[in-house]
C-alpha cells in the first residue's frame, strides 16, 4: 500500500500503522490501562510534561494492539496548534478540474477506518475544535459533518487519545472540565534515573556509564524546577545529548547544546546547569 | 535749574521731557551747587567742536539714568559717579553709556563704596589691550547679573582673568564673560568656584587656557553637579597644575560614561585623594577604567583603602594609585583573581539545589559564625543540613579558575554530606557492610542512664557511647569525609580533576609525620591515606593496627556504604586507637597498605567489641572511684591526645549540632512524650545554643567540645519544654477565652460596612451575617520608602520589567474568520468559493486581522497586616563589614561579647516590609502590563471589626499616592482571613475582566478573637478560610496563597487543598518571588 518515492515512504493517513515494535519500557500498569480502555472504547487523556514519552507510548500501544488483534490498527496523529480549526480535522471541499470534491480530514478518516486518533497537545487547539471531539468521546461515538449533512458512526477500532501538558500554576491554559471529564487519564512523569538510563542507553546507543551520567544529569536538573526552571530537562533532550556524544562530540559540549541551551535562557540558571554538567562529565 | 534746562534745550537731540523729569527729581535732593556740577559734566562733554554720536548717546543715557542712580546714592557719591562717567566718556562714549546704563542695576547688589572701583575695573580692562571696547561694554552690561550671583571680589577676579586673556586674544575674553554670565544665570551658586578656577587657570596655565577652558565650558553642567569635585579642581590647580588638564579630561570621560555606574565611587576616591595626596591623582584617574573593569565596587574600596592606609602609615606610596607599585599590583591581582561568594552565591545555590534535590541555601560562613552557636571558623565551609556555608572569598590561588574550582569542590563536599545522608544517622537502621553494634549498645546504655536521658538526636546518643568523645569525633569526621568524597567522585566524574588538585593541595600542608606520637601518628596516616592512597611511614609495632584502620576506611569507600557504616567503622576504629599509647615513636618504616583482612575478621571480634563498650561505659563511674594506677595512666594519655590538623576543604564538621538543627528545622526530632521540638522556633534554639557555647567558651575558647554544647543545650531544652507546656496551658485559658457571642447577627449601619457569613465546619452551616467588614482607605506616608526600595533593587526592577514585557507579544495574534478585517484570508476564500460551487452557502467570515487580544486580567493582592508581620527577620546583608572576627582567642571573646551587646540594638527588617518591597517591585511592571489590579490589606479584631484597607482599588489609576499608601502598610491586629477573602471576591466580581485572581500574601495561620469554636480549635479558622477560597473558586476566581510561615506546610495543605499555594522558606526572597509568581500565574 505504501508508495515509495526516492528515499521516503508515503502512506495514506489511514494506512499508516506502526509495524516495528517501538522501544518502550512500561513504568507501571499503563499498558494494561490503555488496553482495557481500548477494549471498552473509553477515550484516553495522557498527562505529563514534555518529553516524558507520551507520544512514544501511543506508538507503542498502537503496535501492541495491532499485534494483539492481529490486524493493523492505523495511528493518526494530529499535532494541535492554535490555528487548528474544526475543518482541518473534519474535512473540506476542494476544487479540482471536475468541480468540487470533498476531502475527509484526519479525524474523519480515523473515525471511518477505526484507528487510533492521537491529538497531541490538545490545549493548543482552538476551543471550537475541542468541542467537535465531544460527541466522539462519549457513548454516542459519532462525528457530525455539517457541510456534508452527514453523521459518521465511528468504526469499532476507533479510539480517541489526547495529550495534555498541565502548565505549572497557569490558569489561562487549561483544559475545560467538560472536555477533560470525557477521558480516563494516564499520568506521565520522568522515569527514575535507573529506568531513564536504560531508555537512554537503548535510544542513543551509548554505554552504561554515559547513560547513567546523563540520567543523573536529568535528575539534577529536574531538582531545579522549583528554582525558576519552567520546564525540566526532558528525556528527549537527554537522548539528543546521548546521540551527540555517541557521534563523538565532547560530553560537556553535547550537554550544553542539547540540554542547557534548550531549556533556559536565564543566565544564572544557565551557569548553574553548566556547573552541574561539568561536575558530572569529565 | 531753569538755566540748565534752557541751556540744554538748544541741542535738538536732547529729549526735553526726560531732561525736565530728571532735573525735577535731582533738584529735590541736590543743592544748587551740586546740580550745577552735574550740569557741568554734560556741558563739558557737549561743548566741544563736534560731538560724536556715541557721546550723544552717552549724554542721553546720563540724563535719563541719573535720576535712577540718584535714588540709591548720597549726594557726594552721586557726583563722584557722574564725574567718573565723564572720565570714561573721555576714553570712549559707548563705554560710558554702558557704564551709565548698568549703574542703577548694579547698585542693587553692589555696595555704593565699590561703585567707583567697579568703574575703574572696567577702565583697567579697557586699557589692557587694543580693541577692548566691546569687551568692556559687555563687562559693564553683564556686571549686574554677575555681581548679583556673587560679590565684588569676583568681578575683580573676572577682570583679572580677562585682562590676562585679552593680552593674548580679546575675543576669547568676550567668550569668558559671556560664559560667566551664563553660569550666573543658570547656576549662580557655582559662580564663585568657577570664577576662581578660571582665574587660576589664567594665572598658571595661560598657555593651554583655550584648550582647558573649552573642556570645562562644554562639561560645565556635568561638573556643576559635583560640588566637591569642583573644590578638588581648585586644589589640583594649587599644587599640581601641570596635571590639571589630563586629570580633568579623564575624569569627565569617566563621569560621562553612562554605561558604568562607578562614577560616584570615582568621585569619592578622587576627593579623598585630592585632599591630601594630589600627586597620586593623575595615575589614579588614568588607571581608573582598568581598575573598574577588574574589580567590583567593594573590592575597589578595599584596594583604595589599602593605599590610603599605606599613606597614613607613613610609607612611600609612589605609584600605588597608578598601579605601578608592586604592592598595588599584587593586591589588584589578588582581588581580581579571588572568587567572591557574593558574586557566585546564586549560581552555587542552584548548583547545590540541583545536586542535592533539596532546597539548600548558600550563605557566607561568617553568618554561621556570627550566630555563635558552635561554629567558629569563618574561613571554612560547613553545613547544618539546610544551608551550605562557604568562605566569603577564595584567594588561595593566583588564578580565578582555580579559586572557583576550589570553591566548587568544597561546596560539593558539603552538599555531599547532605546528599549522602550524613545527618540522617539512625541508630536502629542497619549498615551495609558491618554487623551492627549500635542498636544493642544503645539499649544497654539507655538502661543505665534512663533516669536522666536527655539526648535528642541519634548522633548525640551515638557519641555518648565513647569515653573519649573527642577522639571518636575525630575518627568519625575523617571516615565520613572520606566516605562522602568517594561517593562524590563516583557520582560526579567531571569534578575528579578539581578534586585531585584540592586533595594534593591538602596533602602538601599536612604536618611532619615523624614528630607525632603514636595515636596521632595513626590518625595522621589515615588522613593522608584518605587524601591519596600512598606509602606511609609507621613504626613496625603499629603496622597491624594501621592496616586494620585503613581496611575500615576502604570499606567506607564502597558504593553501598551509608552513614551507618561510618558509625560502625568508628566504633571499631575507636577501640583500636584508644588502645594505642600516645607516646613518641622512634623508627618509622615504609609501609604499604594491603587490603587483605576480610570483613569476617572484624565480625569475629564482634563480641569483644560488645564487651569493650559495655565495660567502658557501664563501669565508668566505678572506675573513676577506684582510681587504679593503670587507669590513671590511661587518663593522662588521653588528655595528651590532640586532634589532627584540620583538612581545609573538608570544612568545619559538627555532626551533632547539625543533626540537631536539621531535625529541628524539619520538625522531626521527638523530644519527649509531651511535645516535640517544633514547638520551639529556630531563633529560640539558636539563642539557647549561644548560651551553651558561651558557657563553654568562657573558660577556653580554643577547646570547645561539641558534645558539651549539645549536652548543655539538651538540658536547657528540657527545662524549657516543661515551662512551655505550662505556659501554653495558661495561654489557652487567657488568649483564646471563648466568650459565646450569642450567635447574634450583626448589622451593617454605615456605607462602608459589609456583612459576610462565616462557615462553621462542625455544624456544616454558615453563620448568617456573622462578620462585619469595615472598608477603609489607608492614610498616606511619604515616597521615600518607595524610592529607596526601587533603588535598592534597581537591577532586579529592570529585570522584572523586561520579563513582563516579554509577556506582551504573546497577546498579539492573528484573528481569522472575521466579517471584516485587514485582508482576505486566502484559505477561507478558496473554501468559500468551493462551497459556492458545491451549492452550499459559504461563510461570510473571510477576513483576518492582527489584533491585540486584550489581556483581560484583574488581580487583587490581599495582604496580611496582622501583628505577627512585625516579626523581625535576619537581614544578612546588613553591616557585614563589622563582622570580622579576630583570631586571637582572648580578643575573640571580647569581640564576641561586644557584638552580642550590640546585637540587640540593630535595626531590623520585618516581614511586612518584605511584603511591601515585593509589591513595589511589582507595581512598575504591572503598570506596563496594563492588568487591572488592586492592593488590599486586612486585619482586625473580632468578628464585628474586620478591617479591610484599600491601598489601591481595582478601578483606581496609579498615582503617586499609591506608593505613599504602601508606605503606611504596617502590622496591626489579628488575622480573620475568611471575611477578607469574601469581601475581596465581591470586589473582583464587579470587574469585567475575563480572568480574575486573588493573590493572598500571609505570614501564618488565620486567627482572631472568637475565630474558633469552643475557643480552641485552630481548624475552625482554617476551615472558614478554606471555604471562603472555595467560594471564590466557584465564582471563577483563581486564588493563590503565598505564605512565609515555615510551619505553613501542614495547615496550608488542608486549607488550600487543590488550590495553589507556596510556602516560602527563605523569607528574604519574598520581594523577588512575588513578581515571579505573578508572572507564572497569569502568563500563557
pLDDT > 70 fraction of chain B, expressed in percent and rounded: 77
Residue B794: predicted pLDDT = 72
**B965 part of a folded domain:** yes
Residue B669 confidence class, pLDDT cut points 50, 70, 90: very low
Is A261 in CB contact (< 8 Å) with chain B? no
- Identify the CATH number of the domain in which residue B941 sits: 3.40.50.410
Q: Which of residues 605-624 of B touch A (CB under 8 A)?
A: none
Residue B712: predicted pLDDT = 62
Of the candidates B807, B831, B810, B828, the one whose C-alpha atom is nearest the C-alpha of residue B819 is B828
pLDDT in tens, B790-834: 777 777 777 777 766 666 545 556 777 777 766 778 888 888 888
pLDDT in tens, A111-136: 999 899 999 888 777 777 777 888 88
Set of cell numbers at residue B399? 588564578
Domain total for chain B? Answer: 7
- B408 has pLDDT over 80: yes
- Report CB contact under 8 Å: A92, B831: yes
Residue A253: predicted pLDDT = 92
> Does one domain contain both B928 and B1057?
yes
> Does one domain contain both B382 and B436?
no
> Does one domain contain both B398 and B519?
no
**B901 part of a folded domain:** no
Residue B631: predicted pLDDT = 42
pLDDT in tens, A60-105: 999 999 988 888 889 999 988 777 778 888 888 777 777 778 889 9
- B635 has pLDDT over 50: no
pLDDT in tens, B418-476: 888 888 888 888 888 887 888 777 777 666 555 455 556 788 878 877 878 888 888 89
- Report CB contact under 8 Å: A221, B816: no
> Does one domain contain both B474 and B623?
yes
**B625: helix, strand or coil:** helix
- B723 has pLDDT over 80: no
Is A219 in CB contact (< 8 Å) with chain B? yes
Is A225 in CB contact (< 8 Å) with chain B? no
- Give the separation between CA B507 and CA B278, rounded to whole angstroms: 49
pLDDT in tens, B148-182: 777 888 888 888 888 888 877 778 888 888 888 88
- To the nearest whole angstrom, how far is the Cα of A19 from the nearest Cα of chain B? 36
Is A275 in CB contact (< 8 Å) with chain B? yes
* Number of cross-chain residue pairs from A and B with Cβ atoms under 8 Å apart: 111
- Give the separation between CA B362 and CA B340, rounded to whole angstroms: 13
Set of cell numbers at residue B864? 496580611
Kindly report the number of other CB atoms within 10 A of residue B958's CB atom. Answer: 13
Kindly report the number of other CB atoms within 10 A of residue A141's CB atom. Answer: 19
Distance of CA B312 to the CA centre of its chain: 31
Long-range contact set of residues A270-276: C-beta below 8 Å, sequence gap at least 24: A271/B347, A272/A224, A272/B346, A272/B347, A272/B348, A272/B349, A272/B350, A272/B351, A272/B354, A273/A221, A273/A224, A273/B350, A273/B354, A275/B347, A275/B348, A275/B351, A275/B408, A276/A217, A276/A220, A276/A221, A276/B351, A276/B354, A276/B355
- B603 has pLDDT over 70: no
> Does one domain contain both B585 and B441?
yes
Backbone angles phi, psi at B246, to 5 degrees: -60, -45
Higher pLDDT, B956 or B714: B956
**B739 part of a folded domain:** no
- Give the separation between CA B731 and CA B752, rounded to whole angstroms: 35
- Give the separation between CA B183 and CA B144, rounded to whole angstroms: 13
- Give the separation between CA B815 and CA B808, rounded to whole angstroms: 16
Nearest to A171 among B351, B830, B1038 (CB): B1038
pLDDT in tens, A176-231: 778 888 899 998 888 888 999 999 999 899 999 899 999 999 998 888 876 767 67
> Does one domain contain both B1062 and B927?
yes
Mean of the pLDDT values across residues B268-297?
77
pLDDT in tens, B677-709: 444 555 556 666 665 555 554 444 444 556 566
The single residue listed with the C-alpha cell 488483534 is: A69
Cα torsion for B513, B516, B517, B519, to the nearest 10°?
-60
Is A98 in CB contact (< 8 Å) with chain B? no
> Does one domain contain both B134 and B76?
no
> Does one domain contain both B486 and B624?
yes
Residue B891 confidence class, pLDDT cut points 50, 70, 90: low
- Give the separation between CA B953 and CA B675, rounded to whole angstroms: 45
User: Got the DSSP string for A2-50?
Assistant: -EEETTEEE--GGG----SPPP---SSSHHHHHHHHHHTT--EEEE--T
Set of cell numbers at residue B55? 557721546
Distance of CA B252 to the CA centre of its chain: 29
- B585 has pLDDT over 50: yes
**B284 part of a folded domain:** no
Mean of the pLDDT values across residues B336-358?
83
- Give the separation between CA B411 and CA B349, rounded to whole angstroms: 10
Nearest to A279 among B412, B833, B1076 (CB): B412
Of the candidates B196, B197, B192, the one whose C-alpha atom is nearest the C-alpha of residue B216 is B197
**B305 part of a folded domain:** no
- B402 has pLDDT over 60: yes
pLDDT > 90 fraction of chain B, expressed in percent and rounded: 1
User: Got the DSSP string for B404-455?
Assistant: HHHHHHHHHHHHHHHHTTGGG--SSSPPSSS---HHHHHHHHHHHHGGG---
Residue B454: predicted pLDDT = 55
- A3 has pLDDT over 80: no
Lowest mean pLDDT, pick from A160-174, B349-363, B402-416, B578-592: A160-174
**B536: helix, strand or coil:** strand
Is A269 in CB contact (< 8 Å) with chain B? yes
Residue B1058: predicted pLDDT = 65
> Does one domain contain both B362 and B469?
no
Q: Which of residues 216-245 of B touch A (CB under 8 A)?
A: none
The mean predicted confidence, pLDDT, of chain B is 75
Kindly report the number of other CB atoms within 10 A of residue B521's CB atom. Answer: 25
Residue of chain A whose Cα is closest to the Cα of B994: A172
> Does one domain contain both B486 and B628?
yes
Higher pLDDT, B413 or B1034: B413
Residue B736: predicted pLDDT = 37
**B407 part of a folded domain:** yes
Higher pLDDT, A190 or B881: A190
Q: Which residues have C-beta within 8 Å of that of residue B743, sequence separation ≥ 6? A: B767
Nearest to B1080 among A100, A170, A279 (CB): A170
- A164 has pLDDT over 80: yes
> Does one domain contain both B83 and B147?
no
Is A83 in CB contact (< 8 Å) with chain B? yes
Whether the CB-CB separation of B425 and B669 falls below 8 Å is answered with no
* Best mutation target, A275, A277, A278, A280, to test chain B (most B CBs within 10 A): A275
- Report CB contact under 8 Å: A227, B412: no
Range of the domain at B164: 112-225
Is A171 in CB contact (< 8 Å) with chain B? yes
Is B406 in CB contact (< 8 Å) with chain A? no
Whether the CB-CB separation of B362 and B370 falls below 8 Å is answered with no
Q: Which of B93, B108, B123 is the last residue of a domain?
A: B108
Each domain of chain A, given as residue ranges in start order, spans: 3-187, 193-280
Of the candidates A25, B414, A221, B480, the one whose C-alpha atom is nearest the C-alpha of residue A213 is A221
Q: Which of B168, B202, B225 is the last residue of a domain?
A: B225
Which residues in chain B have their CB less than 8 angstroms from residue A216's CB? 491
Is B834 in CB contact (< 8 Å) with chain A? yes
Lowest mean pLDDT, pick from B186-195, B362-371, B660-669: B660-669
CATH 3.30.70.20 fits A3-187, yes or no: no
Residue A44 confidence class, pLDDT cut points 50, 70, 90: very high
> Does one domain contain both B533 and B579?
yes
Is B806 in CB contact (< 8 Å) with chain A? no
* Best mutation target, B827, B831, B833, B838, to test chain A (most A CBs within 10 A): B838
pLDDT in tens, A7-43: 788 888 878 888 888 999 888 899 999 999 999 989 9
Q: Which of B823, B852, B881 is the last residue of a domain?
A: B852
- To the nearest whole angstrom, how far is the Cα of A170 from the nearest Cα of chain B? 5
pLDDT in tens, B1041-1073: 777 766 666 677 677 766 677 777 666 677 777
**B801 part of a folded domain:** no
Amino acid at each position: 500500500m505504501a508508495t515509495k518515492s526516492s528515499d521516503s515512504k508515503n502512506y495514506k493517513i489511514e494506512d499508516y500503522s506502526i509495524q516495528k515494535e517501538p522501544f518502550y519500557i512500561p513504568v507501571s500498569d499503563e499498558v494494561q490501562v490503555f488496553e482495557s480502555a481500548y477494549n471498552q472504547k473509553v477515550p484516553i487523556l495522557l498527562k505529563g510534561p514534555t518529553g516524558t514519552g507520551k507520544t512514544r507510548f501511543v506508538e507503542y500501544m498502537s503496535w501492541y494492539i495491532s499485534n494483539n488483534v492481529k490486524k493493523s490498527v492505523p495511528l493518526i496523529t494530529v499535532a494541535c496548534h492554535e490555528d487548528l480549526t474544526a475543518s482541518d480535522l473534519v474535512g473540506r471541499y476542494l476544487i479540482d478540474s471536475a468541480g468540487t470534491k470533498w476531502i475527509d480530514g484526519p479525524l474523519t478518516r480515523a473515525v471511518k477506518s477505526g484507528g487510533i486518533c492521537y491529538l497531541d497537545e490538545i490545549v493548543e487547539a482552538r476551543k471550537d475544535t475541542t468541542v467537535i471531539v465531544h460527541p466522539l468521546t462519549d457513548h454516542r461515538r459519532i462525528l457530525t459533518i455539517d457541510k456534508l449533512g452527514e453523521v459518521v458512526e465511528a468504526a469499532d477500532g476507533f479510539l480517541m487519545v489526547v495529550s495534555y501538558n498541565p502548565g505549572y500554576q497557569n490558569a489561562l491554559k487549561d483544559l475545560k472540565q467538560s472536555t477533560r471529564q470525557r477521558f480516563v487519564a494516564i499520568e506521565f512523569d520522568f522515569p527514575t534515573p535507573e529506568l531513564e538510563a536504560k531508555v537512554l542507553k537503548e535510544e542513543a546507543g551509548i554505554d552504561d556509564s554515559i547513560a547513567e551520567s546523563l540520567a543523573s544529569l536529568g535528575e539534577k536538573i529536574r531538582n531545579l524546577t522549583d528554582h525558576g526552571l519552567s520546564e525540566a530537562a526532558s528525556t528527549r533532550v537527554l537522548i539528543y545529548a546521548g546521540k551527540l556524544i555517541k557521534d563523538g562530540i565532547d560530553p560537556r559540549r553535547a550537554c550544553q547544546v542539547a540540554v542547557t541551551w534548550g531549556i533556559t535562557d536565564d543566565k544564572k540558571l544557565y551557569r548553574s546547569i553548566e556547573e552541574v554538567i561539568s561536575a558530572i562529565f569529565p | 535749574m531753569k538755566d540748565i534746562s534752557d541751556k540744554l534745550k538748544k541741542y535738538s537731540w536732547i529729549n526735553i521731557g526726560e531732561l525736565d523729569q530728571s532735573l525735577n527729581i535731582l533738584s529735590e535732593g541736590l543743592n544748587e551747587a551740586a546740580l550745577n556740577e552735574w550740569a557741568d559734566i554734560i556741558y563739558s562733554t557737549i561743548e566741544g567742536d563736534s560731538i560724536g554720536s556715541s557721546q550723544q548717546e552717552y549724554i542721553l543715557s546720563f540724563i535719563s539714568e541719573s535720576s535712577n542712580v540718584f535714588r540709591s546714592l548720597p549726594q557726594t557719591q552721586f557726583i563722584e559717579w557722574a564725574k567718573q562717567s565723564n572720565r570714561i566718556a573721555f576714553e570712549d562714549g559707548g563705554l560710558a553709556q554702558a557704564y551709565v546704563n548698568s549703574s542703577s542695576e548694579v547698585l542693587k547688589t553692589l555696595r555704593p563704596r565699590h561703585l567707583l572701583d567697579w568703574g575703574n575695573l572696567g577702565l583697567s580692562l579697557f586699557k589692557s589691550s587694543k580693541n577692548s571696547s566691546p569687551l568692556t561694554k559687555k563687562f559693564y552690561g553683564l556686571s549686574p547679573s554677575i555681581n548679583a550671583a556673587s560679590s565684588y571680589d569676583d568681578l575683580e577676579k573676572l577682570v583679572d582673568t580677562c585682562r590676562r586673556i585679552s593680552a593674548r586674544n580679546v575675543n576669547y575674553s568676550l567668550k569668558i564673560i559671556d560664559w560667566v554670565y551664563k553660569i550666573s544665570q543658570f547656576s549662580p551658586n557655582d559662580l564663585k568656584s568657577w570664577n576662581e578656577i578660571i582665574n587660576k587657570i589664567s594665572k598658571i596655565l595661560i598657555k593651554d587656557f583655550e584648550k582647558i577652558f573649552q573642556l570645562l565650558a562644554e562639561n560645565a553642567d556635568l561638573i556643576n553637579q559635583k560640588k566637591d569635585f569642583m573644590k578638588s579642581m581648585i586644589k589640583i590647580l594649587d599644587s599640581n597644575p601641570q596635571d590639571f588638564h589630563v586629570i580633568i579630561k579623564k575624569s569627565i570621560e569617566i563621569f560621562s560614561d553612562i554605561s558604568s555606574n562607578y562614577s560616584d565611587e570615582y568621585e569619592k576616591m578622587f576627593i579623598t585623594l585630592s585632599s591630601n595626596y594630589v600627586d597620586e591623582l593623575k595615575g589614579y584617574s588614568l588607571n581608573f577604567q582598568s581598575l573598574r573593569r577588574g574589580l567590583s565596587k567593594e573590592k575597589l574600596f578595599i584596594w583604595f583603602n589599602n593605599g590610603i592606609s599605606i599613606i597614613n602609615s607613613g610609607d612611600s606610596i609612589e605609584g600605588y594609585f597608578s598601579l605601578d607599585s608592586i604592592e598595588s599590583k599584587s593586591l589588584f591581582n589578588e582581588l581580581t583573581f579571588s572568587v567572591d561568594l557574593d558574586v557566585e552565591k546564586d549560581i552555587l545555590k542552584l548548583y547545590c539545589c540541583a545536586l542535592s534535590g533539596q532546597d539548600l541555601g548558600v550563605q557566607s560562613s561568617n553568618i554561621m559564625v556570627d550566630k555563635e552557636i558552635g561554629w567558629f571558623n569563618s574561613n571554612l565551609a560547613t553545613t547544618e543540613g539546610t544551608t551550605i556555608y562557604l568562605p566569603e572569598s577564595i584567594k588561595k590561588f593566583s588564578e580565578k579558575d582555580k579559586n572557583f574550582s576550589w570553591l566548587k569542590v568544597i561546596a560539593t563536599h558539603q552538599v555531599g554530606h547532605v546528599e549522602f545522608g550524613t545527618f540522617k544517622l539512625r541508630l536502629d537502621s542497619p549498615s551495609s557492610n558491618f554487623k551492627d553494634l549500635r542498636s544493642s549498645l544503645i539499649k544497654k546504655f539507655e538502661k543505665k542512664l534512663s533516669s536522666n536521658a536527655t539526648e535528642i538526636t541519634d548522633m548525640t546518643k551515638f557519641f555518648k557511647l565513647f569515653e573519649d568523645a573527642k577522639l571518636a569525633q575525630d575518627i568519625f569526621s575523617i571516615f565520613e569525609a572520606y566516605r562522602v568524597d568517594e561517593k562524590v567522585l563516583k557520582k560526579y566524574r567531571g569534578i575528579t580533576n578539581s578534586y585531585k588538585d584540592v586533595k594534593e593541595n591538602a596533602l602538601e600542608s599536612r604536618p611532619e609525620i615523624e614528630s607525632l606520637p603514636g595515636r596521632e601518628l595513626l590518625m595522621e596516616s589515615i588522613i593522608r591515606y584518605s587524601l591519596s592512597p600512598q606509602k606511609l611511614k609507621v613504626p613496625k609495632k603499629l603496622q597491624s593496627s594501621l592496616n586494620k584502620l585503613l581496611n575500615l576506611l576502604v570499606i567506607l569507600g564502597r558504593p553501598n556504604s551509608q552513614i551507618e557504616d561510618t558509625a560502625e567503622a568508628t566504633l571499631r576504629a575507636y577501640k583500636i586507637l584508644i588502645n594505642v599509647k600516645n607516646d613518641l615513636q622512634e623508627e618509622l618504616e615504609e609501609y604499604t597498605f594491603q587490603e587483605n583482612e576480610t570483613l569476617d575478621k572484624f565480625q569475629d571480634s564482634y563480641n569483644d567489641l560488645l564487651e569493650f563498650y559495655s565495660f567502658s561505659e557501664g563501669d565508668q563511674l566505678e572506675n573513676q572511684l577506684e582510681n587504679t594506677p593503670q587507669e590513671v595512666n590511661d587518663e593522662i594519655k588521653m588528655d595528651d591526645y590532640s586532634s589532627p590538623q584540620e583538612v581545609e576543604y573538608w570544612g568545619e564538621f559538627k555532626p551533632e549540632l547539625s543533626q540537631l538543627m536539621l531535625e529541628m528545622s524539619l520538625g522531626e526530632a521527638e523530644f519527649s512524650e509531651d511535645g516535640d521540638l517544633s514547638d520551639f522556633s529556630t531563633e529560640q534554639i539558636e539563642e539557647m545554643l549561644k548560651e551553651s557555647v558561651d558557657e563553654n567558651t568562657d573558660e577556653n575558647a580554643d577547646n570547645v567540645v561539641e558534645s558539651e554544647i549539645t549536652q548543655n543545650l539538651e538540658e536547657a531544652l528540657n527545662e524549657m519544654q516543661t515551662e512551655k507546656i505550662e505556659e501554653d496551658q495558661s495561654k489557652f485559658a487567657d488568649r483564646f477565652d471563648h466568650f459565646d457571642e450569642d450567635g447574634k447577627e450583626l448589622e451593617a449601619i454605615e456605607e462602608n460596612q459589609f456583612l459576610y457569613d462565616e462557615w462553621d465546619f462542625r455544624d456544616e452551616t454558615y453563620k448568617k451575617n456573622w462578620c462585619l467588614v469595615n472598608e477603609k482607605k489607608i492614610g498616606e506616608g511619604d515616597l521615600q520608602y518607595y524610592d529607596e526600595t526601587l533603588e535598592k533593587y534597581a537591577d532586579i526592577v529592570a529585570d522584572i520589567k523586561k520579563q513582563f514585557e516579554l509577556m506582551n507579544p504573546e497577546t498579539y495574534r492573528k484573528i481569522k474568520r472575521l466579517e471584516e478585517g485587514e485582508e482576505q484570508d486566502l484559505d477561507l476564500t478558496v473554501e468559500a468559493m468551493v462551497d459556492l460551487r458545491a451549492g452550499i452557502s459559504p461563510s461570510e467570515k473571510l477576513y483576518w486581522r492582527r489584533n491585540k487580544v486584550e489581556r483581560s486580567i484583574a488581580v487583587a493582592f490581599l495582604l496580611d497586616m496582622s501583628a505577627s508581620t512585625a516579626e523581625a527577620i535576619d537581614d544578612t546583608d546588613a553591616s557585614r563589614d563589622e563582622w570580622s572576627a579576630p583570631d586571637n582567642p582572648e580578643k575573640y571573646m571580647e569581640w564576641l561579647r561586644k557584638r552580642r551587646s550590640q546585637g540587640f540594638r540593630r535595626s531590623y527588617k520585618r516581614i511586612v516590609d518584605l511584603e511591601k518591597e515585593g509589591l513595589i517591585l511589582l507595581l512598575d511592571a504591572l503598570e506596563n502590563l496594563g492588568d487591572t489590579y488592586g492592593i488590599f490589606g486586612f486585619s482586625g479584631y473580632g468578628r464585628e471589626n474586620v478591617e479591610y484597607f484599600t491601598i489601591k482599588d481595582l478601578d483606581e489609576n496609579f498615582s503617586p499616592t499609591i506608593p505613599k499608601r504602601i508606605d503606611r502598610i504596617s502590622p496591626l491586629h489579628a488575622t480573620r482571613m475568611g471575611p477578607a477573602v469574601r469581601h475581596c471576591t465581591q470586589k473582583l466580581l464587579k470587574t469585567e475582566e475575563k480572568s480574575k485572581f486573588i493573590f493572598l500574601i500571609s505570614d501564618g495561620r488565620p486567627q482572631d478573637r472568637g475565630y474558633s469554636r469552643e475557643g480552641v480549635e485552630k481548624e475552625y479558622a482554617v476551615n472558614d478560610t478554606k471555604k471562603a477560597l472555595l467560594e471564590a473558586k466557584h465564582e471563577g476566581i483563581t486564588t493563590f496563597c503565598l505564605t512565609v510561615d515555615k510551619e505553613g506546610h501542614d495547615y496550608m495543605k488542608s486549607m488550600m487543598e487543590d488550590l495553589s499555594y507556596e510556602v516560602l522558606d527563605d523569607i528574604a526572597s519574598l520581594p523577588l518571588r512575588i513578581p515571579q509568581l505573578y508572572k507564572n500565574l497569569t502568563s500563557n
